[in-house]
Amino acid sequence: MIRVLLLVALVTLAACWEDGPSASRETSPGGIEYTLIDLPEHEDVTIHVAWPTDWAYRPGTSKAAPVTGAQVILAGGAEGHPAGEVVERFADLDSEGNIHVAVNDHVIGELTFERDRMAETVKIANAHLRAPTLEQAWFERIRHGIAQNMAEAQARHVHAGFDAVRWAVFGTQPLRNAMSLDEPGTFEALTRDDVAAWHAETFTRSPDAIVVAGGIDAGAAGTALDALFEGLPDSGREVSRESMPDFAPRHMLLHLPYAESTNLAFIAPLPPTRLGGELEDLILVHALGGDDQSVLFDAVRTELRATYGFGAGIANYTREHRILFMTGEVEADRLAEVERVVRAAYAMFREYGPQGSLADRKAPLEASFSELADFVVDQARSELQGALEGHPPGRSLELDDELAAVTEESVMARLRKDFPAAGDFIVIAVSPDADGLPGACVIRVPREAADCP
């Protein structure tokens, strides 16, 4: 009897394996190339598209057009689909759509729906990509709202500090205003024609990468993609993404007399993820400033008692230009002391690396990767990023193997070779006290950071 049960269990296991997640490179009947992540246990399907863009890099483009245009397309309705009606129909379908600009290099579109509601969902999405209404009233409404939100954000002292760093790194290059949206007239000068021009050059049949994930076979996925891309122009412009960031170390204080708190940040470049080392980075940054047991939290809160929280993270200006940052709000009177302590803690970390077991540090990532296939949207996002980095189809299904290959040696090599030295950071403090950071280049507005030595 036991043998029979064992046999049943093995057969069941084999069946499950056979139907498990898989990845393949496919081409639709209409010639659209894509990666299919087949997740047979899901009833949901998600389509993710990355359209290339260099809008942010070019002089003469209206830098607020992408962020405004994405919202006008989503909210303002499309040919045959008035705004107030389509919002309810999409809710009936339980479908979701989103468009956003990712680190200035791509416009990402995401469409998620239940498999048996695919045809209508894709038809509506196609209309919004191909023939959005871009009504003047909706354009004005959204432009005005984003302008107000940006003005408020720029008045917040932490935001202003990071604006100052972008002035220091990119100066007057077009890319800077694409990120900060703070040049006078950025929103006032934006027209509906700017949005229409951005839309026309962006949404084509030639994205850099497409991923379809969920419970769907290649036949149905190809049909869906052909319907989604129907009527879009074959190709857009040849993109050219040139920028010359200057990450030379600087020591700056943005003096805001009415700031109610004091913030300190360190910023330095990291290599692009296309060169590898991404998982080592995640482990290192978490150990450096990811939680209450991290190096920075321990140094600035637990030991120095000068902050509520001081952490670290990674961000992207572009796919080529990533940054490591360490930041937190600190006690105003101890700003200079905190700067010394953070720098010393980082130097020690870079010398000796994360303490404790690497297996324990991998555990949260293992848990996350093991559950990735439960979430079609997250799986597709991960796969799309892999595709943009040139990985073969299925990278997102093999992250656990990549993690297993991470060793103490690879972590330390990454830290010592690719992480910045303690003296290589741009330091920016935002404080009501102009003398809080002795020797710093004191500025009154972010723009002045461009002139800090």
- Give, as ranges, the residues between 357 and 396 that touch another protein (CB under 8 A): 357, 359-361, 363-364, 366-367, 370-371, 374-377
Q: Are the C-beta atoms of residues 426 and 452 closer than 8 Å to each other? A: no
Q: Is residue 453 involved in binding another protein (CB under 8 A)?
A: no
Q: Is residue 189 involved in binding another protein (CB under 8 A)?
A: no
From 5-13, 122-130, 192-200, 425-433, give the range in contact with another protein by CB under 8 A: 5-13
Q: Strand, helix or coil at 199?
A: helix
**CA-to-CA dists, residue 35 to 22, 114, 235, 355, angstroms:** 10, 19, 19, 39
Quick one: which of 86, 192, 88 has its CA closest to 139?
192
Q: Which of residues 393-412 bind another protein (CB under 8 A)?
A: none
Q: Is residue 330 involved in binding another protein (CB under 8 A)?
A: yes
Could you give the dihedral angle defined by the CA atoms of residues 111, 112, 118 and 123, in that order, rounded to the nearest 10 degrees?
Answer: -20
149 vs 407 by CB, closer to another protein: 149
Tokens of 75: 């909210």
**CA-to-CA dists, residue 225 to 50, 421, 424, angstroms:** 14, 47, 47
Q: Which of residues 106-125 bind another protein (CB under 8 A)?
A: 112, 114
> Cα separation of 400 and 312, whole Å?
24
210 vs 306 by CB, closer to another protein: 306
- What's the closest the beta carbon of residue 43 comes to another protein, in angstroms? 7
Angle at CA of residue 287, ends 282 and 291, nearest 5°: 105
> Cα separation of 343 and 326, whole Å?
10
**CA-to-CA dists, residue 372 to 16, 378, 380, 381, angstroms:** 17, 6, 9, 10
106 vs 157 by CB, closer to another protein: 157
Biggest alpha carbon distance in the chain?
82
Q: Is residue 356 involved in binding another protein (CB under 8 A)?
A: yes
In which element (H, E) is residue 220 found? helix 218-229
Phi, psi at 442, each rounded to 5°? -90, 125
From 47-55, 100-108, 137-145, 397-405, give the range in contact with another protein by CB under 8 A: 137-145
Q: Is residue 329 involved in binding another protein (CB under 8 A)?
A: yes
Q: Kindly give the pairing relationship between strand 441-443 and strand 209-214.
A: unpaired
56 vs 254 by CB, closer to another protein: 254
- What's the closest the beta carbon of residue 308 comes to another protein, in angstroms? 4
Q: Is residue 421 involved in binding another protein (CB under 8 A)?
A: no
Angle at CA of residue 183, ends 180 and 187, nearest 5°: 90
Tokens of 24: 């393949």
Which of 152, 217, 242, 451 is close enough to bind another protein by CB under 8 A?
A: 152
200 vs 363 by CB, closer to another protein: 363
84 vs 453 by CB, closer to another protein: 84
Q: Is residue 188 involved in binding another protein (CB under 8 A)?
A: no
Residue 16: how many other CB atoms lie within 10 Å: 11
Q: How many chain residues interact with another protein (CB under 8 A)?
A: 71
Which of 6, 7, 20, 444 is close enough to bind another protein by CB under 8 A?
A: 20
Which of 41, 188, 217, 435 is close enough to bind another protein by CB under 8 A?
A: 41
From 118-126, 133-141, 178-186, 403-411, give the range in contact with another protein by CB under 8 A: 133-141
- What's the closest the beta carbon of residue 444 comes to another protein, in angstroms? 16
Which of 7, 10, 13, 189 is close enough to bind another protein by CB under 8 A?
A: 13
Q: Is residue 191 involved in binding another protein (CB under 8 A)?
A: no
Q: Which of residues 258-297 bind another protein (CB under 8 A)?
A: 259-261, 287, 291-293
- What's the closest the beta carbon of residue 46 comes to another protein, in angstroms? 7
Residue 423: how many other CB atoms lie within 10 Å: 10
Q: Strand, helix or coil at 209?
A: strand
